[in-house]
Structure 1
């Protein structure tokens, strides 16, 4: 196995060829923020939070899909990147309806945590206040489109791990949203196995257990990690 030696934020890092910059950084203990990435699922570079600067290129590169290269020099925490990440977080908050104090995931939300990390104590952008529905048709779970950030973790875990293919993304632009089945109520989709993997994979309060109140969504991250490790190893989830 060939190994590449690169530098991330001034730290020398050795990583196997084919490893992504994000994986190399994680192995070296260097934190690069992300919302759409979940180890064990295919990377999609959707959230654009893991963008990094690579010497020799003016373009920001998504660390989750950019392979390491010999002699590569990567910067992950420059002022330019910090400003970019704050802007992305502000966009996510303002394009949806994220009222943290009333959310089931308050205190256990990856979007909320990143807002704190980037210092977003206010937004420089106007809120859009879109009219979005809540689907409570499933007998165990609920879907609140107001809190969905279109990370597609639910789509990928249902497709790649459970194999049920319940979720997909419908429409485009500002009308884009997660849909169940053929744009059916979630409870009407016979393919759903009630496994709850999509709820565990959701980084916000968009997918939740029915009956959960504010701050009551406590997903078992270790359980999902075990499931994804088994999936990567080729075992039954």
Structure 2
């Protein structure tokens, strides 16, 4: 296996050829915040929280899809990056309707966690308060578009792991949203296997179990990687 040596925040890091900057940083114990990224799913660089500065590059690069190379010099925590990450989190909060006090994921929400990490204790931007629907047509689960951050984890896990491809991303700009089937009520999509993997990997309270009340959603996205390892080894999933 070929090894590449790069420098991350002043530290020399050895990484396998073909790894991403995010993977190399995590192996080295360097924390880079993410929301759309999840081990076991293909990276899409949707949230832009993992942007890093690379010497010699005029643009900020998403660490989750940038491959390592010999001699690469990466900065992950400059004042510029800290300000960008806080702004990204503020935009996610203000463009939706994230009322944490009544959310099923309150206290167990990755968006909340990232807000704490980047120091966002208030929004400097005006809230938009869009009018977004809630889909309760599925017998077991619900979809609240008000809490969706368009990370596309549900789309990828349904396509890449379950193989059902129930979910997709439709429209553009402020009208962009997750849809089931051909923009149908979730409960009417025959392809859905009721597996719940989309609920498992959702970082917020957008996808939830019916009956969950405030703070009762306790999903564990890390189980996805364990499930894939078990399938590969033809073992029973933990």
Question: Does TM, scored on the shorter chain, surpass 0.5?
Answer: yes
Give the match for residue 223 of structure 2. Answer: 223
Question: Separation in 1 of the partners of 2:7 and 2:45?
Answer: 22
TM-fit CA distance, 1:223: 2.9
Question: Separation in 1 of the partners of 2:12 and 2:162?
Answer: 38
Question: Separation in 1 of the partners of 2:226 and 2:211?
Answer: 26
Q: TM-score, normalised by structure 2?
A: 0.96
Question: Separation in 2 of the partners of 1:224 and 1:45?
Answer: 19
Give the match for residue 102 of structure 2. Answer: 102
Runs (5+) with no aligned partner, structure 1: none
Question: Separation in 2 of the partners of 1:183 and 1:50?
Answer: 31
Give the match for residue 53 of structure 1. Answer: 53
Question: Separation in 1 of the partners of 2:83 and 2:234?
Answer: 42
The verdict on how the C-alpha distance between 1:56 and 1:207 changes in structure 2, with shifts beyond 3 A counting, is same
The verdict on how the C-alpha distance between 1:37 and 1:130 changes in structure 2, with shifts beyond 3 A counting, is same
3-state secondary structure, aligned to 1:7:
strand
Give the match for residue 181 of structure 2. Answer: 181
User: Is the aligned partner of 1:68 residue 2:73?
Assistant: no
Give the match for residue 195 of structure 2. Answer: 195
Runs of 4+ in 1 over 2 A off after TM superposition: 220-225, 228-231, 233-237
Question: Separation in 2 of the partners of 1:116 and 1:153?
Answer: 22
Give the match for residue 214 of structure 1. Answer: 214
Contact 2:40 2:224 in 1 (8 A): no
Give the match for residue 153 of structure 1. Answer: 153
TM-fit CA distance, 1:227: 1.4
Question: Separation in 1 of the partners of 2:40 and 2:207?
Answer: 20
Aligned residues: 236
TM-fit CA distance, 1:10: 1.1
Q: TM-score, normalised by structure 1?
A: 0.96
Contact 2:169 2:178 in 1 (8 A): yes
Question: Separation in 2 of the partners of 1:222 and 1:52?
Answer: 24
The verdict on how the C-alpha distance between 1:235 and 1:152 changes in structure 2, with shifts beyond 3 A counting, is farther
